[in-house]
């Protein structure tokens, strides 16, 4: 039987993949079915990139779009691009080029006074090394297709932009930076990467590539389930405070439990707390510090949690790109150790600037005396500070609430308490399973963490089905409620531990 020739054609994304790992490139090309599923968070990043890319086109209006109807029809895009280039068409979106089997699609190609300018759009605040590699591949292909580029630019989001009025000023939202010098300096590297990728794709078996830090950086590989099969959930990956390279070395040396981490790596209180707890199979406790901390918290108390979303493109006045905008809070109030919890929930409908109503609702809900317990006050305090600047008439009340806040994460952050069942995690979700008498579980709700909540809410901004919107808002309420109920359970457990006899 004759051996079929290999397909060594490359796209820009597959070549970038190959630069990170040859095996990932090979698997992507010939064993695509082994690819890990795209997570909700990853899909949100893809959607965000598309949204920002479309908006950036308005920097150069009136262009012709060469986007193919599907991924299998790029030849049409190449032909359309070629015709437009021949006609010196002023602006081309998704301009497609192919040279010696390497396919690229440039976000924006501009012809000005007979000269060509290339623009690639990124939905981030700064230019990374990978972005430079990305546009360097495009430059390589376009140049070898016979087009001389006068300059090459990366368009990215300007973090200093603040939305004034109802419409985004795209000329202020975006920064345009020339990277031609860096791109030309990378051309030899790109040629070498192409040669290596073609060599890899010429093979008839999966190349042997040892797992390592490159599996996770600069991007987590989407074949982790293949290359790390049986180890992808190794608890050593969860060791807080340890370097990724060290975790990988431990796993490769056959270590599968935190209790077996070598002594020479016990260099921080965080790692020591985890290792000792797992070796002794009981909580690591600094009782005096914990007792002192808990003695400063007295009833009545509130348990408070905020959820926020971070749109790349500002949608409300006086907001900037990626600003954390609150859309929900959960609050539970306990007057005494014996009184039932009082519950207050707030959630904003999507696409409504509800920040002032959010704030006044919270201020009214916390009028009664009492410390306000939060798990990691960074988000809650940050949002209240922002709202105080936006609505200065509430500044005095906001200052009062911030002064009453207590960070219940402190005993965990300072390594005064660690339970082996936390498995290296320090979130409310990780701590709850250590409380034997608590019936609470994130397994019982659909949304599992804050990142997921943010992604789900951002998706609602594009949703039109009211049934879906209402159902999702209920699921978000369930999640945020679980966080504050969890805070109460953790508070009671720490109080019990701090006061129990030795």
What CA–CA distance (Å, rounded) separates 358 from 326?
8
Among 66, 56, 28, smallest CA distance to 124 is for 56
Which 8-state DSSP code applies to residue 310?
Answer: -
Is the per-residue pLDDT at 3 higher than 90?
no
Q: Give how far Cα 501 sits from Cα of 23, 249, 498, Å.
A: 57, 41, 9
pLDDT in tens, 307-347: 999 999 999 999 999 999 999 999 999 999 999 999 999 99
CB–CB of 288/279 below 8 Å? no
* 3-state SS class at 231: coil
Instruction: Write phi, then psi, for 364 (nearest 5 degrees).
Output: -65, -40
Residue 342 C-alpha from the chain's centroid: 33
pLDDT in tens, 233-263: 788 998 999 999 999 999 988 888 899 999 8
Q: 230 pLDDT band (50/70/90 cuts)?
A: confident
Is the per-residue pLDDT at 216 higher than 80?
yes
Provide the pLDDT for residue 501.
56
Q: 81 pLDDT band (50/70/90 cuts)?
A: very high
What CA–CA distance (Å, rounded) separates 284 from 263?
17
Which positions ≥6 away from 216 have C-beta within 8 Å? 244
Point out the least confidently predicted range of 67-76, 236-245, 284-293, 332-341. Answer: 67-76
Q: 438 pLDDT band (50/70/90 cuts)?
A: confident
Going by their DSSP bridges, the two strands 325-334 and 342-347 should be labelled as antiparallel
Instruction: Write phi, then psi, for 415 (nearest 5 degrees).
Output: 60, 40
CB–CB of 134/154 below 8 Å? no
What is the average pLDDT score of the chain? 95
> What's the Rg (C-alpha) of the chain?
27
What CA–CA distance (Å, rounded) separates 135 from 120?
7
Provide the pLDDT for residue 1.
37
Strand boundaries in 335-408, DSSP class E? 342-347, 371-374, 405-407
pLDDT, mean of residues 433-459:
93
What CA–CA distance (Å, rounded) separates 217 from 291?
41
What CA–CA distance (Å, rounded) separates 243 from 251?
13
Q: 4 pLDDT band (50/70/90 cuts)?
A: low
Instruction: Write phi, then psi, for 314 (nearest 5 degrees).
Output: -55, 140
> Which residues share a beta bridge with 106?
95
Domains of the chain plus CATH, in order, are: 10-201 (3.90.320), 213-282 (1.10.150), 288-499 (3.30.420.10)
Q: In the chain, what percentage of residues exceed pLDDT 70?
A: 99
Structure tokens belonging to residue 61: 């209006």
According to DSSP H, which parts of 92-236 are helical?
129-144, 170-173, 180-185, 187-201, 224-227
- pTM assigned to the model: 0.92
Per the rule left: phi > 0, alpha: psi between -120 and 50, beta: everything else, 369 is: beta
Among 141, 149, 64, 159, smallest CA distance to 100 is for 141
Which positions ≥6 away from 491 have C-beta within 8 Å? 297, 301, 303, 373, 408
Provide the pLDDT for residue 502.
45
């Amino acid at each position: 039987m004759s051996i079929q020739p290999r397909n060594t054609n490359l796209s820009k994304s597959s070549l970038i993949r190959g630069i990170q790992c040859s095996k990932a490139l090979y698997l992507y090309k010939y064993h695509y079915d082994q690819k890990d599923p795209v997570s909700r968070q990853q899909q949100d990043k893809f959607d965000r990139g598309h949204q920002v890319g479309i908006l950036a086109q308005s920097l150069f209006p009136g262009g012709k779009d060469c986007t193919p109807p599907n991924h299998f029809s790029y030849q049409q895009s190449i032909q359309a691009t070629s015709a437009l280039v021949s006609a010196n068409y002023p602006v081309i979106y998704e301009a497609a080029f192919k040279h010696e089997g390497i396919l690229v699609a440039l976000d924006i190609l501009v012809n000005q006074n007979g000269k060509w300018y290339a623009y690639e759009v990124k939905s981030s605040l700064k230019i990374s090394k990978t972005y430079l590699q990305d546009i360097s591949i495009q430059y390589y292909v376009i140049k070898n297709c016979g087009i001389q580029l006068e300059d090459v630019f990366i368009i990215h989001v300007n973090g200093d932009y603040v939305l004034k009025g109802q419409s985004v000023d795209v000329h202020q939202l975006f920064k345009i930076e020339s990277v031609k010098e860096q791109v030309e300096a990378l051309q030899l590297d790109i040629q070498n990467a192409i040669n290596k990728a073609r060599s890899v794709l010429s093979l008839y078996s999966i190349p042997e590539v040892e797992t390592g830090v490159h599996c996770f950086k600069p991007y987590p590989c989407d074949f982790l389930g293949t290359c790390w099969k049986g180890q992808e959930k190794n608890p050593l990956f969860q060791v807080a405070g340890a370097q990724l390279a060290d975790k990988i070395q431990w796993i490769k040396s056959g270590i599968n439990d935190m209790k077996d981490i070598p002594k020479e790596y016990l260099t921080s209180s965080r790692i020591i707390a985890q290792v000792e707890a797992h070796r002794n199979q009981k909580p690591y406790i600094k009782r005096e510090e914990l007792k002192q901390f808990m003695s400063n918290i007295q009833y009545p108390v509130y348990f408070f949690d905020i959820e926020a979303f971070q749109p790349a493109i500002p949608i409300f006045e006086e907001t900037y790109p990626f600003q954390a905008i609150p859309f929900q809070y959960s609050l539970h109030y306990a007057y005494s150790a014996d009184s039932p919890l009082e519950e207050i929930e707030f959630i904003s409908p999507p696409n409504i600037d509800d920040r002032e109503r959010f704030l006044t609702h919270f201020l009214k809900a916390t009028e009664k005396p009492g410390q306000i317990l939060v798990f990691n006050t960074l988000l809650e305090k940050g949002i209240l500070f922002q709202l105080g600047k936006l609505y200065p008439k509430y500044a005095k009340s906001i200052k009062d609430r911030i002064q009453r806040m207590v960070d219940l994460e402190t005993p965990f952050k300072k390594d005064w308490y660690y339970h082996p069942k936390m498995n290296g995690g320090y979130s409310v979700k990780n701590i709850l399973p250590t409380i034997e008498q608590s019936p609470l579980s994130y397994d019982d709700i659909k949304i599992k963490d804050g990142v997921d909540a943010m992604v789900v809410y951002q998706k609602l901004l594009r949703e039109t089905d009211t049934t879906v919107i209402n159902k999702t808002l209920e699921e978000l309420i369930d999640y945020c409620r679980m966080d504050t109920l969890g805070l109460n359970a953790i508070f009671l457990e720490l109080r019990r531990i701090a006061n129990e006899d030795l």
